[in-house]
Amino acid sequence: MNLNDITKTTNLSSISNTTTKTIDSYIKNLNVLLKPLFVEDSKLPKQTTPALDLTSTGHPFHLVKNSPKPILASFVVFLLATHLLQWMTGLWGSTDTLDSTSLFAYNLITKLTYISFITVMYSWFWYLHFESTFLGKYTSHVKTGLNMGIQLFIVSEVMFFVGAFWAYLHGAFNPLPCGEIGSEWPLKGINFGHWYAIPTVETCVLVSSGFVLSHGYNLFLKGNRNALWIGLMITIFLALYFLALQYIELSQSLQYSMPDSFFSSSFYFGVGCHACHVFLGTCGLIVALVRHIRYTYAVDSHVGLNAVIWYWNFVDFVWILLYVIYYVWGS
């Protein structure tokens, strides 16, 4: 071996040692960085959420702070009810007969009433959504209480329609005390229409919407988000179609108005109030669709979605009773 071979061997050995040291130092640094990722959970510090820490509150419930929203909502609802009573009783008279000052006051009160109602309700429900979705204030106990509140609200709505059915059936079985001429129900000369025409189509539309919504919800519970999205879209479309049919029926097909007799008053009251409930349910479906698109519903946490579905099924059930009693049997 000559001098050149010895020099080459020494250089290669020194380069190899340097590379080995570099790799070892890199592996040590990498272990230091990755070590916390492989530590057992029992050795990591625990983090507690103040909203769910029972040691600080002593209970699993969420106590809301003082807010002016309930008082404002009560006042706005009072204004809305007053405006509707004035409109139905004709206290202001026809808008064509009002002078400029009265017409300006009427339009101003109407716009302020509805704008205030929408603003207060939107801010209130948005904050409830913010508390539940982003602040995590709603524990399982709170959600149980909310579900119970929704169920009690639907029970109160059931009693409301019980009164409407009671009034209609009382007039049907006792037409003379109700002031019906000739003791007939309905009155002679009233063209009730054919129950197998528009009312039957409305029944098919509303029952189909409830079926589609329930089917999409059941698939959502199994992890299929697209099924709920499609179900909500179809249900909203069918609800708007039902409202359009209701408008055509009440405004054009029927040949009598609300103040004509006790029959027409009770009929319009029951069917008209149901149409209002369908409109409110449609608004709830639209809100549920927006929230579902924004990924605020989870399989194990969707109180708002439950509320909308329960309410819509209640609306479907009431319409079936209306269809059978008011249209089929009443005609």
Tens place of pLDDT per residue across the chain (331 aa): 444 444 444 454 554 555 555 656 655 554 544 444 333 333 333 333 334 444 456 667 777 778 888 888 888 888 888 877 777 766 665 666 666 777 777 778 788 888 888 888 888 888 877 777 777 777 778 888 888 999 999 999 999 999 999 988 888 887 666 655 556 666 666 666 666 778 889 999 999 999 999 999 999 988 888 999 999 999 999 999 999 998 888 777 666 666 667 777 888 888 889 999 999 999 999 999 998 888 888 887 788 899 999 999 999 999 999 999 888 887 6
Q: Is domain 139-331 given the CATH code 1.20.120.80 in the classification? A: yes
CB atoms within 10 A of CB 204: 12
Nearest to 253 by CA among 213, 194, 303, 317: 194
* Ranges of each domain in the chain: 3-45, 69-137, 139-331
Question: How open is the CA angle 292-296-301, to the nearest 5 degrees?
Answer: 105
Across the strands, what pairs with 298? 301
Helix 225-248 with 262-293: angle, nearest 10 deg: 150
Distance CA 297, CA 305 (A): 8
**Helices then strands (H, E): number in the chain?**
9, 0
CA distances from residue 235 to 199, 221, 229, 295, 312 in whole angstroms, order as listed: 18, 18, 10, 19, 10
Nearest to 83 by CA among 59, 67, 105, 56: 105
